């Protein structure tokens, strides 16, 4: 009654096929995370680096991105949180033996402790101080999942957090199990937690020394391509006087910051090496209205041949 059967094959098809499609999709996502560079989407190839969020990247792709933030379309979205190579760790991975044939679905890397394959089926971690990569279960087996009894008894009486460092089972580097064990390809929830930890740690970073700051400012004048382009657009729209960033050749701005800063350094050197005659030329030509300040006097005295 009512169940005439007409719709039953359709429903069965849906029930059967939808989970299959979802499964295939999930398998592809896992492959993408564990076998491929999160940035270039190329197969992971050593040297492999990882960030504070446990993503895996080919180091060459990441360097490419740091030199040119537009090298990958969605680069900013994927690794906008990576400011320099200091924000990533080169991983010490254990290759599977024998190595899988190219393009196969077998993991390239394994846990050195229990040989579990790094294929997304098991949680993996890396140690931030040395970069060694282990399966979570392998590392737990070796270092234990609770703090050592010694540190526990110490802490209970004094109330002081006096954490005892663990030792990497592969290379003996010391690490803290509470802050130095980074989950590789974490779940969404864990990634959010890791993001919070990263932001908290960065907010506590000491301000860089003065010389570094000055260098950063010099680099900041170059900025990245998009920012310069934006400024150019703004200045043409508003016909402002050109900002310092525009004085620099756009071709230089488009290049790497490293290149730009080395050019700036060269320019400074060149100026420093100028003869007094040239200097006076410069002065008469450009500095006429300005009085020589104490700083410039000092500079010229110091560098005069
Ligand atoms: Zn290690």
User: 127 alpha carbon to ligand 1 midpoint, in Å?
Assistant: 7
CA distance 254 to 256: 7
Question: What is the predicted pLDDT for the residue at 290?
Answer: 46
Q: What order do you get walking across the sheet with 124-127 strand by strand?
A: 133-135, 124-127, 181-183
Residue 300: pLDDT above 90?
Answer: no
Residue 152: pLDDT above 50?
Answer: no
Question: What is the predicted pLDDT for the residue at 144?
Answer: 85
Cβ–Cβ under 8 Å, residues 151 and 165: no
User: 208 alpha carbon to ligand 1 midpoint, in Å?
Assistant: 28
**Across 211-234, average pLDDT:** 49
CA distance 135 to 132: 10
User: 46 alpha carbon to ligand 1 midpoint, in Å?
Assistant: 17
Q: Where are the domains of the chain?
A: 9-203, 210-303
Mean of all residue pLDDT scores within the chain: 75
User: 182 alpha carbon to ligand 1 midpoint, in Å?
Assistant: 13
pLDDT tens, position by position, 35-87: 999 999 999 999 999 999 999 999 999 999 999 999 999 999 999 999 999 99
**Across 201-209, average pLDDT:** 84
**Across 112-134, average pLDDT:** 97
Question: What is the predicted pLDDT for the residue at 101?
Answer: 87
User: 42 alpha carbon to ligand 1 midpoint, in Å?
Assistant: 26
**Across 282-294, average pLDDT:** 47
User: 293 alpha carbon to ligand 1 midpoint, in Å?
Assistant: 54
């Amino acid at each position: 009654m009512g169940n005439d059967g007409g719709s039953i094959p359709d429903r069965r098809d849906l029930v059967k096929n939808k989970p299959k499609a979802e499964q295939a999709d999930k398998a592809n996502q896992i492959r993408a995370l564990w076998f491929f560079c999160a940035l270039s989407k190329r197969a992971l190839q050593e040297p492999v680096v990882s960030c504070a969020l446990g993503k895996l990247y080919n180091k060459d792709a990441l360097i490419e991105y740091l030199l040119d933030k537009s090298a990958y379309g969605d680069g900013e979205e994927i690794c906008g949180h990576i400011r320099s190579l200091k924000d990533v760790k080169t991983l010490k991975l254990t290759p599977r033996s024998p190595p899988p044939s190219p393009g196969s679905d077998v993991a390239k890397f394994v846990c050195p402790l229990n040989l579990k394959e790094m294929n997304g089926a098991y949680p993996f971690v890396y140690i931030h101080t040395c970069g060694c990569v282990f399966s979570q279960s392998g590392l737990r087996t070796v270092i234990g999942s609770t703090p050592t009894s010694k540190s526990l008894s110490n802490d209970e009486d004094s109330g002081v957090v006096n954490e005892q460092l663990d030792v990497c089972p592969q290379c003996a580097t010391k690490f803290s199990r509470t802050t130095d064990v980074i989950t590789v390809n974490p779940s969404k929830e864990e990634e959010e937690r890791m993001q919070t930890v990263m932001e908290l740690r960065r907010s506590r970073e000491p301000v860089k020394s003065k010389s570094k700051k000055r260098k950063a400012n010099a680099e900041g004048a170059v900025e990245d391509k998009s920012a310069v382009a934006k400024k150019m657009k703004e200045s043409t729209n508003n016909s402002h006087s050109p900002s310092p960033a525009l004085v620099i050749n756009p071709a230089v701005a488009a290049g790497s910051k490293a290149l730009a800063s080395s050019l700036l350094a060269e320019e400074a050197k060149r100026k420093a090496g100028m003869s007094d005659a040239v200097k006076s030329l410069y002065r008469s030509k450009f500095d006429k209205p300005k009085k020589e300040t104490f700083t410039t006097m000092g500079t010229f005295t110091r560098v005069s041949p």
